[in-house]
A and B are shown apart, each in its own frame.
Chain A
Amino acid sequence: MTADSLDPLIHAPARLRIVATLAALPDGASLSFTRLQDMLELTPGNLITHLRKLEDAGYLESETTGNGRASRTSIALTRHGRKALDDYTAALRDLITGL
C-alpha cells in the first residue's frame, strides 16, 4: 500500500482538519461556518474552496439561512463523508504499520 491509496480529497492538510473537526460533532449536528473558520484558523476564501470540494464529493452538506450579511451557513458531515474518513483512517493506519 502506498500514499496514493489514500483518498486525495481528504489527504490534504486543510481538508483533513475540516473533516476531522466535523466528525467530532455528535451525529446529526452541524457547525456554523464562522465557528469552523475560528477553530481551523483558515481564511474565508480558503475554507470555502475546500468546503466546496468536499461538498461536491458528497462528504459534506451545507445549509444557508437568511440573506446578505445576516446569512448563516451551517456545515455537517454526511454519512458518506464519515465513512470516507473512517476508510481514510483505516488506510492510514495500515500504511503506517507497513512503513
Chain B
Amino acid sequence: MDGEGDATEAVSTDDGEGLDPREAARLLAETEREAQRQFDLNPLWITVVMSAIVLGAYGVLWFSTRGQHPYKGPSLGVVGLVYAAVAVTVAASVKVYRRATAGVSGPSVRQQQAEGVAILVSFVLGSPVLQGAMKHYRASDAIVYGVFPAAAPLIIVGTTVLGIAASKADWPQFGAALAVVITGVVAAFVGPSGAWLAAGIGLFIGMVGYAAADAFRHHRAPLGA
C-alpha cells in the first residue's frame, strides 16, 4: 500500500481494545451517514431548491400567458428568465456531482456520466427539434409555444429517466420519473397556458417526493443507533 505524500509521522496502532459495542454501533452509523452524505449526487437541499426554482419558472410562464386570446406564448424576457433559471440549476447540479464524485472511480462513475449524457441529449435535442419542425410546418402558436414545450420535455426526459431507473432497480427514481411522465401527459390536455401550470406543479411534487423518499432511504440507521 503506497499512499500519496509523506508518511513519516507517528502512527497509532488503534486496535480497538476496550471499544464498547454501543460505541462501535454509533461510530458505524455515524460514518455511514457521513459517507452517504458526501457521496450523495442528489442532496435533499439542492433538490428542494431546484424544485422551488422549477415551480417559480413554470409559474412565471403560466402567469405571463394566462388570458391570452389568441395564445401567443411567453415573452422573450420571460423565456430568458427561465433559461437563466435552468442554467443556474444545471450549474449547481454539476458542482454537486463533481464534489460527490471527487476521487471516486470505477464503472459506476462511467455509468452515471453516460446517464447524464443520455438525459442531456433527450432534453436538448428531443423537444426543440420537434418544436422547430412544428413551427416549420406552421402548427399553431398554442402548440409550438404552449402545449408542446410545456408537456413534451417532461414526457421525453421522464421516459429516459424511467428507463435508467428501471435498469438500476432504483424505485424511488422510477416513481418520480413516472410522476413526471404522467404530469407531461396531463399538461398536454389542459390548454397552452394551463400546460405550464400543470407541468410546474407536477414537476414540483415529483421532485419533492423523490427527495423525501431518497432522504428516508439514506437516513435509516443500520443498527437503530
Cβ < 8 Å to A, chain B residues 29-48: 31-32, 34-36, 38-39
Q: Is the CB of A29 within 8 A of B11?
A: no
Interface size on A, residues (CB 8 A): 53
B155 to chain A, nearest CB (A): 29
What band does the interface of chain B fall in when counting residues whose beta carbon is under 8 Å from A? Answer: 35 or more
Q: Is the CB of A51 within 8 A of B1?
A: yes
Q: Does A57 contact B (CB under 8 A)?
A: no
Q: Does B167 contact A (CB under 8 A)?
A: no
Q: Is the CB of B103 within 8 A of A11?
A: no
- Which residues of the other chain, B, contact A49 by a CB distance below 8 angstroms? 11-13
- Which residues of the other chain, A, contact B222 by a CB distance below 8 angstroms? 89
**Interface 1/0 per residue, A21-60 and B, CB below 8 Å:** 1011111111111111101000111111111100100000
Q: How far apart sit A52 and B7, CA to CA, in the bound complex (Å)?
A: 13
Q: Is the CB of A16 within 8 A of B106?
A: no
Q: Is the CB of B31 within 8 A of A31?
A: no
Cβ 8 A contact of A92, one of B32, B36, B223 = B223
B30 to chain A, nearest CB (A): 9
- Number of cross-chain contacts by CB at 8 Å: 141
Cβ 8 A contact of A28, one of B3, B15, B22, B107 = B107
Question: DSSP majority for the A interface?
Answer: helix
- Which residues of the other chain, A, contact B182 by a CB distance below 8 angstroms? none
Q: Is the CB of B39 within 8 A of A24?
A: yes
Q: Is the CB of A21 within 8 A of B31?
A: yes
Q: Is the CB of B31 within 8 A of A20?
A: yes
B173 to chain A, nearest CB (A): 14
**Interface 1/0 per residue, B190-207 and A, CB below 8 Å:** 000000000000000000
Q: Does B186 contact A (CB under 8 A)?
A: no
Q: How far apart sit A20 and B28, CA to CA, in the bound complex (Å)?
A: 7
Q: Is the CB of A96 within 8 A of B39?
A: no
Cβ < 8 Å to A, chain B residues 1-19: 1-16, 19
Q: Is the CB of B105 within 8 A of A17?
A: no
Knowing A34-B103, A45-B7 are in contact, say whether A29-B21 is a contact too (CB < 8 A): no
- Which residues of the other chain, A, contact B107 by a CB distance below 8 angstroms? 28-29
Q: How far apart sit A21 and B107, CA to CA, in the bound complex (Å)?
A: 18
Q: How far apart sit A64 and B9, CA to CA, in the bound complex (Å)?
A: 22
- Which residues of the other chain, B, contact A52 by a CB distance below 8 angstroms? 1
Using a CB–CB cutoff of 8 Å, the interface residues on chain A facing chain B are 3, 6, 8, 11-17, 20-21, 23-37, 39, 43-52, 55, 62, 64, 69, 71-74, 76, 89, 92-93, 95-96, 99
Contacts A20-B35, A71-B4 aside, 20 further interface pairs with beta carbons under 8 A come to A8-B15, A12-B14, A13-B16, A15-B16, A20-B28, A21-B35, A24-B32, A24-B36, A25-B104, A25-B108, A29-B107, A33-B4, A35-B104, A39-B35, A47-B3, A49-B12, A49-B13, A72-B4, A96-B21, A96-B223
